Chains A and B, each alone.
Chain A
Amino acid sequence: MGKSSLIVVLGLSVIVAFFILKLNANSKENLSTTVNMFEQTQARLIANTGVEIYLEKLYSDLTLINTTSFPQNLFNGSYIVNLAGTLPNVRVTSTATFQGITHTSVADAWLEPINLPRLPGGIYLNTALVIDPKEIGDMNVSGLTHDPSGNIKGDGKPAVWAVAVDDAVQRDNILNGLKKPEKLTGLINPTTGETGFPSVGVDNVSDEWAGTYQYLANAADQTFIQDIPNGADLGTLTNPKITLINAAASDGKTIMVNGNEGAGILVVNGNVKFAGNFSFKGLILCYKNTDITFESTGTNEVIGGVVVAGQSIGFKLTGTMNVKYSLDVLNLIKTNLKADGFTILSWYE
């Protein structure tokens, strides 16, 4: 009787054990199915992230073209990126591995050149808020064509407005408040091309510029949120830079630029003070809420142009401020700036 009971109990135990093992195996397989889906997704995300990271790296260092990265660790997986092609075109192949699952993403991208819309004046006021006419009148603004050294080319034609605005109300506001009209020279008759003073005209290209401000700010080669010391590299005509001076993000909400020179595109946001003679070749773009102060008693000079595109913009001068329109400089900037960034043409994932 005892042996029989033992046989029955052991037999049942074996059957139950097999049954539990089978259920357990199914449960494990169920989990494995779910985990596998997660692993595939994770591998894809790592590969895609690799593409994004290496496009940024390539943008910063164009010599990375036609190279393959070392394995990079990310999210507990790894990826390898190959950058192939002839700039401005590049094909980025990112192969990621996560928990034994491999995924390859391929993106074709194009290094998009800087696209600067037409500048209709030495200073273009593309803002809803009319600037104090006195601030404009304190500057020497020339819409005549200048060479990169700041000399008038020939008779200065074809010229643009010294100050171009978006509508007649802004124009009249400036003209009525001008103390020294002769300081604003440039185009006075767009039909004949005649030049003279005061050169303030309406030429609304706000739509062309509208999408450009934030784009340029985002594409900045360097960003300053603290005072800029003398000798800081703000670019040259052969190697221009997009510089974002974001005073609004600084601790004191004001940035001091100490006696500098530079070339490229200067994107200004917030209160910026230029101390010492400042010379810049290219485009100064004032956007958002900007207050620019030139504190030096010497001569400050911008060869190229100024675009005012904020909600609240002001200029304060202690010394002399010369703005000289130069298409040559703007073209050089466009040619020599490396690019706005990569534009994705197609993406395989």
Chain B
Amino acid sequence: MSTFLDILGSSFIAGMLLLMVMKMNLFMSNASFESDNELKLQQNAKTLAEILNNDFRKIGYRHTGTAFLTAEKEHIKFVGDLQRPGESGFGIVDTVEYFIRDASYSPGTTNPDDIIMVRVLNETDSITGSSLGLVKLQFNYLDSLSIPTADLTKIKYIKTEFWVEPMEQADNFITGHQDSVFTYWEFTINPRNI
């Protein structure tokens, strides 16, 4: 009898242990997935910021006259030499355009909201890449007094805001449905050549 009770007790404990291990495994998998997602989120946001930052600082470089061709909420087009002295292509003023494509252009991700930022260089070379989790991008144009302006000749600052979510959404065990954390990035650039 006592042997039977020992077997029963130990089986119960073993079962409890097994359940704990399985739960811990589930938790670890999920936490690991979320952690990876957040890391990718941050890296993607930084990559987007670097791309815009790099180009926007060259607006109007080696160009006389108005450097902006288009200045809309989700669409910007400008001229400026992107190459520095000594680099191949220096001396040729480039035309750079940014606009966005809706979520239908990023079918490869599970996030239904992500959009594509398109960079077009010199009207031909179009880089559309992956969405990098971008869900919203907008530009605001400010004059020398930091007042919003639509006058292309008066733009002195470009305030860029964008929102990035992970490309793969994670299960939220609290709300019971998939959702995402997001990151918001804002920067204002005063191109020195305008």
User: A346 to chain B: which residues have CB within 8 Å?
Assistant: 61-62, 193
Instruction: Give chain B residues whose Cβ lies under 8 Å from the Cβ of A36.
Output: 46
Task: Give the CA-CA distance A211 to B57 in the complex, in Å.
Answer: 29
Q: Which residues of A contact B62 (CB under 8 A)?
A: 346
Q: Which of A29, A106, A349 contacts B57 (CB 8 A)?
A: A349
**Chain A interface bracket (under 10, 10 to 19, 20 to 34, 35 or more):** 20 to 34
* Shortest CB distance B10–A (Å): 8
Partner of A8, one of B17, B36, B192: B17
Q: Which residues of B contact A19 (CB under 8 A)?
A: 28, 31-32
Interface string of A40-54 (1 = CB under 8 A from B): 100000000000000
A290→B36 CA distance, assembly (Å): 69
Cα distance, A40 to B46, chains bound together (Å): 11
| CB–CB A23/B31 < 8 A | yes
A93 at the interface (CB under 8 A from B): yes
Q: How far apart are B85's CB and chain A's nearest CB, in angstroms? A: 5
Whether A30 lies near B39 (C-beta < 8 A) is yes
Q: Mark B131-155, 1 if CB is under 8 A from A, else 0.
A: 0000000000000000000000000
Contact B193–A347 (Cβ < 8 Å): yes
Contact partner of A91 (CB less than 8 A), chosen from B28, B39, B46, B85, is B85
Closest residue on chain B to residue A344 by CB atoms: B192
Return B76 CB to nearest CB of chain A, in Å. 19
For the complex, give the distance between the alpha carbons of A22 and B49 in Å.
Answer: 27
In the complex, A104 Cα to B192 Cα: how many Å? 15
CB distance from A301 to the nearest CB of B (A): 45
Report yes or no: A33 in contact with B28, Cβ–Cβ below 8 A: no
Kindly state whether residue A6 has any CB partner on chain B within 8 Å: no
Complex Cα distance A27/B34, Å? 12
Q: Which residues of B contact A29 (CB under 8 A)?
A: 39
Q: Which chain B residues border A8 with CB–CB below 8 Å?
A: 17
Does any Cβ of A come within 8 Å of B43's Cβ?
Answer: yes
B38 at the interface (CB under 8 A from A): yes
* Contact A26/B28 with A348-B61, A349-B57 known, Cβ cut-off 8 Å: no
- Which residues of chain A (1-51) have a CB below 8 Å from chain B? 8, 12, 15-16, 19, 22-23, 26-27, 29-30, 33-34, 36-37, 40
- Tell me whether chain B's interface is mostly helix, strand or loop, or mixed: helix
B49 with A37: CB separation less than 8 A: yes
Cα of A23 to Cα of B33 in the assembled complex, Å: 10
Find residues 98-118 in chain B having any chain A CB closer than 8 Å to their own CB.
none
The chain B residue with its CB closest to the CB of A8 is B17
Say if the beta carbon of B84 comes within 8 Å of chain A: yes
Which one of B21, B28, B85, B192 lies within 8 Å of A349 (CB-CB)?
B192
User: Which residues on A sit within 8 Å (CB–CB) of B193?
Assistant: 346-347
Report A-chain residues with C-beta under 8 Å of the C-beta of B180.
none
**Choice from A27, A33, A91, A93 contacting B43 with Cβ under 8 Å:** A33
Nearest residue, chain B, Cβ from A20: B28
Q: How far is the CB of A323 from chain B (nearest CB, A)?
A: 40
Distance, CA A349 to CA B56, complexed state (A): 10
Q: Which of B21, B35, B43, B46 is packed against the most chain A CB atoms within 10 Å?
A: B35
Q: Is the CB of A104 within 8 A of B42?
A: no
Cβ of B156 < 8 Å from any Cβ of A?
no
Are B32 and A23 within 8 A (Cβ)? yes
Taking a contact as CB atoms under 8 Å apart, the answer to whether A348 and B58 are in contact is yes
Q: Are B35 and A22 in contact (CB under 8 A)?
A: yes
Q: Tell me the nearest residue of chain A to B58, going by C-beta.
A: A348
- The residues in B between 27 and 79 inclusive whose CB is less than 8 angstroms from any CB of A are 28, 31-32, 35-36, 38-39, 42-43, 46, 49-50, 57-58, 61-62
Q: Which residues of A contact B38 (CB under 8 A)?
A: 26, 30
Whether B28 contacts A37 by the Cβ 8 Å rule is no
Interface 1/0 per residue, A75-100 and B, CB below 8 Å: 00000000000000001010000000
A-B contact pairs, 6 of them (CB 8 A): A26-B38, A37-B46, A91-B85, A106-B84, A348-B85, A349-B58
Known contacts A27-B35, A33-B42, A347-B61; 20 additional CB pairs below 8 A are A8-B17, A12-B21, A12-B24, A15-B24, A16-B24, A19-B28, A19-B31, A22-B32, A23-B31, A26-B35, A26-B39, A29-B39, A30-B39, A91-B85, A344-B192, A347-B192, A347-B193, A348-B58, A348-B84, A349-B57
- Interface, chain B (partner A; CB < 8 A): 17, 21, 24-25, 28, 31-32, 35-36, 38-39, 42-43, 46, 49-50, 57-58, 61-62, 81, 84-85, 192-193
Q: Which 4 A-B pairs have the closest CB atoms?
A: A347-B192, A26-B35, A348-B84, A19-B28
